[in-house]
């Protein structure tokens, strides 16, 4: 028997969803009395159905719309350092099987059985994002597990972003194990070299999820010129320079990110073939069209235009506008890659607005490839949010 407090589902809630692997309980699905609301955010509880039958061990945060997240299907689970090491070992062993170099997403939240926790590995450095209250409260134990299981020497806690605010967590950034990285970390992927600012960059410093899509884009290069819009540190642009592109133009609003892109190109001895343009992406697309510029490959990988369902319609319009502006910049017979990291936008919706935008841009084309995130970003079938990334590649006539 467990001595954990109990949180119970309402009579009309469907406990079979939890039994079949859905990991969340929303605020309107649980009995939230004074006792439940007084539970410390991030504390653990026993989840029961309306008939008082045990369902799982959960973590509770009544400050969030997701009031409970399943930690373990076992109702008597003990969430401690040993439990963390077991979950982390399972995640680590899979990545080590998949990748030859220690650069990957090590923990992908619910899909790795560690709800709300993101960990990216950069060699001897691990950057963790504790986006759920339990992970924030157990950050030191998570760091200890990373050191003991993975063998990293430095653990950075990146406590920033929208996900934390939804949990009612404060922003913070600190090195909790080891020494502060003195310089951007070099990351090698697909033959390209990237520089990741693990202390001050976006997210953890780099986006590992696009690795397979960047590899596919490399197959489209046969010399020629490439345009990488919303490039961040040069994700697609540097990959295609490594594959033999004659030139790459990277467009981003962040001067710091573009400086890192230039640094990566220098490490590849490709800096003479890279041009960077700091600009609002939409304005840059319009200006390039006014100049009559065209490229063999154009990639647009914007931030999430629809981070939640409330932003869906506006997000779909923004994705359509990107496609409309980008399509005329592709040479006849060239390729256009369009990406979305909005979990509120499903693949069918994204495909439809992308095709409509291409048409509104005066072009026609065929869809040649649909991609998602790499296997270091596993998808929990019961939770669509873990399969957020969509990448579509078109050949335009």
Same domain? 68 vs 97 = no
Tell me: do 361 and 292 sit in the same domain. Answer: yes
Sign for the pseudo-dihedral over CA of 94, 95, 99, 101? negative
| Residue in the structure block whose two tokens are 């935008």 | 357
Q: Which of 297, 300, 298 is nearest to 282 (CA)?
A: 300
Co-location of 309 and 222 in the same domain: yes
* Sign of torsion over alpha carbons 281, 282, 287, 292: positive
| Residue 51 lies in domain | 6-72
Q: Which of 156, 177, 198 is the last residue of a domain?
A: 177
Determine the pLDDT at residue 35. Answer: 87
Q: Are residues 14 and 141 in the same domain?
A: no
Q: Among all residues, which ones are annotated catalytic?
A: 341
pLDDT digits (tens, 9 = 90+) for 329-357: 999 999 999 999 998 999 999 999 999 99
Closest C-alpha among 60, 55, 93 to residue 75? 55
| Token pair in block for residue 387 | 């399969």
Please give the angle made by the CA atoms of 377, 383 and 389, to the nearest 5 degrees.
45
pLDDT for 2 equals 67
**Whole-prediction pTM value?**
0.94
Note whether residue 368 is domain-resident: yes
**Per-residue pLDDT tens for 351-394?**
999 999 999 999 999 999 999 999 999 999 998 888 899 999 99
Q: How confident is the model at residue 102 (pLDDT cuts 50, 70, 90)?
A: very high
As given in the structure block, the two tokens for residue 223 are 């010399």
Is 344 inside any structural domain? yes
Identify the domain boundary among 152, 177, 202.
177
In a domain, 1, yes or no: no
Contact between 318 and 305 under an 8 Å Cβ cutoff? The reply is: yes
Q: Are residues 287 and 198 in the same domain?
A: yes
Q: Which tokens belong to 245?
A: 């592109």
53 and 138 in a single domain? The answer is no
Domain containing residue 63: CATH number: 2.30.130.10
> Do 251 and 358 have their domain in common?
yes
* pLDDT tens by residue, 317-330: 999 999 999 999 99
- The pLDDT of residue 39 is 92
Residues ≥6 apart with Cβ < 8 Å to 176? 139, 140, 143, 155, 156, 157
**Which CATH number covers residue 195?**
3.40.50.150
**Domain containing residue 122: CATH number:** 3.30.750.80
Asked if the model's pLDDT at residue 161 lies above 90, the reply is no
pLDDT over 90 (residue 16): no
pLDDT in tens, 276-299: 999 999 999 999 999 999 999 999
The predicted pLDDT at position 33 comes to: 87
What's the confidence (pLDDT) of residue 160? 85
Same domain, 66 and 89: no
Please check whether residue 260 lies inside any domain of the structure. yes
Same domain, 333 and 370: yes
Residue 391 maps to a domain: yes
CA 135 to chain centre: 18
Residues 155 and 228 in one domain: no
Residue 247 within any structural domain of the chain: yes
> Residue 358 contacts by C-beta under 8 Å, 6 or more apart in sequence?
323, 324, 327, 336, 364, 365, 394, 396
- Within this chain, do residues 199 and 333 fall inside the same structural domain, yes or no? yes
Residue 163 is predicted with a pLDDT of 81
pLDDT digits (tens, 9 = 90+) for 173-217: 999 999 998 889 999 999 999 999 999 877 788 999 999 999 999
Q: Report the domain count for the chain.
A: 3
Helix or strand or coil: residue 277? strand
- 268 and 210 in one domain? yes
pLDDT of 386 reads: 83
User: In 10 A of CB 375, how many CB atoms?
Assistant: 17
Q: Is the model's pLDDT at 155 over the cut of 90?
A: yes
Give yes or no for residue 164 having a pLDDT over 80: yes
Q: What are the structure tokens assigned to 68, written together?
A: 């409970």
Domain boundary among 148, 177, 206: 177
| pLDDT at residue 1, as a whole number | 52
Note the pLDDT of residue 203.
Answer: 79
- Helices (DSSP H) in 2-49: which residue ranges? 15-19, 34-37
Structure token pair of residue 392: 């579509």
pLDDT for position 12: 82
At residue 104, the pLDDT reads 98
Map tokens 């970003």 to a residue: 377
Q: Is residue 289 part of a domain?
A: yes
Residue 219: CB atoms within 10 Å: 12
Q: Is 55 among the domain residues?
A: yes
């Amino acid at each position: 028997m467990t001595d954990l407090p109990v949180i119970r589902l309402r009579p009309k809630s469907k406990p079979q969803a939890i039994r079949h692997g859905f990991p969340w309980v929303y605020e309107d699905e649980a009995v939230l009395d004074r006792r439940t609301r007084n539970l410390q955010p991030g504390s653990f509880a026993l989840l029961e159905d309306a008939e008082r039958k045990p369902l799982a061990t959960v973590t509770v945060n009544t400050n969030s719309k997701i009031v409970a997240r399943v930690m373990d299907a076992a109702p008597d689970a003990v969430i401690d350092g040993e439990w963390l090491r077991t979950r982390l070992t399972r995640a680590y062993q899979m990545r080590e099987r998949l990748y030859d170099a220690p650069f990957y997403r090590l923990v992908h939240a619910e899909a790795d059985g560690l709800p709300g926790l993101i960990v990216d590995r950069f060699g001897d450095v691990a950057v963790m994002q504790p986006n759920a209250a339990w992970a924030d409260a157990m950050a030191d134990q998570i760091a200890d597990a990373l050191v003991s299981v993975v063998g990293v020497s430095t653990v950075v806690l990146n406590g920033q972003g929208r996900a934390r605010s939804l949990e009612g967590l404060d922003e913070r950034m600190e090195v909790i194990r080891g020494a502060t990285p003195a310089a951007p970390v070099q990351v090698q992927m697909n033959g390209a070299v990237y520089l990741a600012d693990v202390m001050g960059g976006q997210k953890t410093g780099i986006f590992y999820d696009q690795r397979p899509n960047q590899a596919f884009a490399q197959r489209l290069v046969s010399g020629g010129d490439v345009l990488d819009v919303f490039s961040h540190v040069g994700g697609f642009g540097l990959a295609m320079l490594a594959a033999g592109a004659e030139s790459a133009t990277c467009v981003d609003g962040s001067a710091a990110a573009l400086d890192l892109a230039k640094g990566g190109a220098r490490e590849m001895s490709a800096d003479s073939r890279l041009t960077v343009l700091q600009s609002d992406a939409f304005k840059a697309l319009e200006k390039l069209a006014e100049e009559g510029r065209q490229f063999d490959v154009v990639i647009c990988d914007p931030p999430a235009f629809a981070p939640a369902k409330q932003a869906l319609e506006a997000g779909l319009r923004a994705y359509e506008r990107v496609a409309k502006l980008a399509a005329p910049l592709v040479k006849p017979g060239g390729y256009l890659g369009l990406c979305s990291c909005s979990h509120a936008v499903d693949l069918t919706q994204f495909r439809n607005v992308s095709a409509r935008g291409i048409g509104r841009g005066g072009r026609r084309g065929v869809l040649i490839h649909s991609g998602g995130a790499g296997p270091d970003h596993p998808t929990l079938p019961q939770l669509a949010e873990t399969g957020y990334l969509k990448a579509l590649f078109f050949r335009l006539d």
